[in-house]
């Protein structure tokens, strides 16, 4: 199993050498795409990833730094499939706010050829619990506190208690190992459910959190490797100081990720 970091920047203005959030898990010759920040399709293709082998696309929430590259991702999948004469097996999109996906499809249907394709893109909303289990990867969803919930009809009343969460943390289990993808969140304790009794790796955002705070939270958790991604200005504007701080607190168990990094897990 490999983890590819295609975009490691938080929702800042454009930063040199960095694109917005996107991580890919590669397992059993399939790709599991997590978030889709700007340029993710182009970066992935140029890294040698075959976009026609995407099995699942999982979105943590629909802020632009996490879905800005989704229209291009769909467009490139079709383009590459046409150029190579390959018919993808089909893929599933899991997105907390399906209205956003509907809007993206509206854009695509108004591009050349009406975005006609001969493969399936299945769309699903996200609820707490098991997201999918395809025999290679099992994914579980845990809502977090980055975005407020809204009832199904958008009205906050005591008569409508069904909560439609719009921001999620995910846990991926594959090849006997587990990876937690934090997404964006407010309180570190929002990750408790996904971490559970421990995990082999966590991909954790620092756009809203500092290195020291993350260390204090994780030090008593059974967590293996720590990948800092979705990095904000504090880290990106002070790379040497930040790297030294990560080394001080975590030793060689953590790394500040950069775009186009790949790790074997």
Residue 79 buriedness (CB in 10 A; 0-12 / 13-18 / 19+) = middle
Q: Report yes or no: 75 and 111 within 8 Å, Cβ to Cβ.
A: yes
Helices (H), the chain: 40-46, 64-67, 70-84, 98-109, 192-195, 211-218, 233-236, 239-250
Give the model confidence (pLDDT) of 31-67 as tens digits: 999 999 999 999 999 999 999 999 999 999 999 999 9
Q: Report yes or no: 258 and 235 within 8 Å, Cβ to Cβ.
A: no
pLDDT computed for residue 164 by the predictor: 77
Q: Could you tell me the mean pLDDT of each successive run of 10 residues in the chain, 265 residues long?
A: 98 94 98 98 98 97 97 96 90 95 95 90 95 98 86 50 81 98 96 98 96 96 97 94 97 97 97
114 φ, ψ to 5°? Answer: 65, 20
Q: What is the dihedral of CA 144, 148, 154, 159, to 10 degrees?
A: 80
pLDDT computed for residue 161 by the predictor: 46
Give the model confidence (pLDDT) of 242-261 as tens digits: 999 999 999 999 999 999 99
Q: Report yes or no: 2 and 25 within 8 Å, Cβ to Cβ.
A: yes
CATH code of the domain covering residue 176: 3.60.15.10
pLDDT computed for residue 153 by the predictor: 52
pLDDT computed for residue 39 by the predictor: 96
57 φ, ψ to 5°? Answer: -120, 120
Paired with 27 in beta bridges are 30
* Number of domains into which the chain is organized: 1
Domain residues for 28? 2-264
Residue matched to tokens 């509206």 = 106
């Amino acid at each position: 199993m490999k983890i590819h970091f295609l975009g490691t920047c938080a929702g800042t203005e454009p930063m040199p050498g960095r694109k917005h959030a996107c991580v890919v898990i590669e397992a059993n010759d399939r790709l599991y795409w997590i978030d889709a920040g700007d340029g993710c399709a182009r970066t992935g293709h140029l890294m040698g990833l075959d976009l026609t082998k995407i099995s699942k696309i999982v979105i943590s929430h629909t802020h632009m730094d996490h879905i800005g590259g989704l229209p291009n991702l769909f467009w490139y999948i079709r383009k590459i499939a046409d150029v190579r004469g390959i018919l993808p097996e089909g893929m599933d999109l899991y997105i907390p706010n399906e209205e956003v996906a509907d809007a993206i499809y509206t854009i695509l249907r108004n591009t050349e050829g009406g975005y006609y394709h001969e493969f399936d893109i299945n769309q699903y909303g996200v609820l707490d619990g098991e997201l999918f289990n395809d025999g290679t990867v099992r994914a579980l969803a845990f809502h977090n506190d980055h975005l407020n919930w809204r009832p199904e009809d958008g009205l906050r009343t005591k008569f409508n208690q069904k909560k439609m969460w719009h921001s999620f943390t995910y846990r991926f289990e594959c090849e006997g190992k587990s990876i937690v993808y934090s997404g964006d969140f407010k309180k570190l304790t929002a990750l408790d459910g996904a971490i559970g009794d421990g995990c082999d790796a966590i991909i954790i955002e620092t756009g809203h959190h500092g290195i020291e705070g993350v260390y204090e939270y994780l030090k008593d958790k059974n967590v293996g490797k720590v990948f800092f991604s979705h990095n904000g200005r504090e880290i990106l504007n002070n790379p040497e100081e930040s790297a030294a701080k990560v080394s001080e607190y975590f030793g060689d168990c953590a790394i500040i990720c950069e775009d186009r990094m790949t790790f074997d897990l």
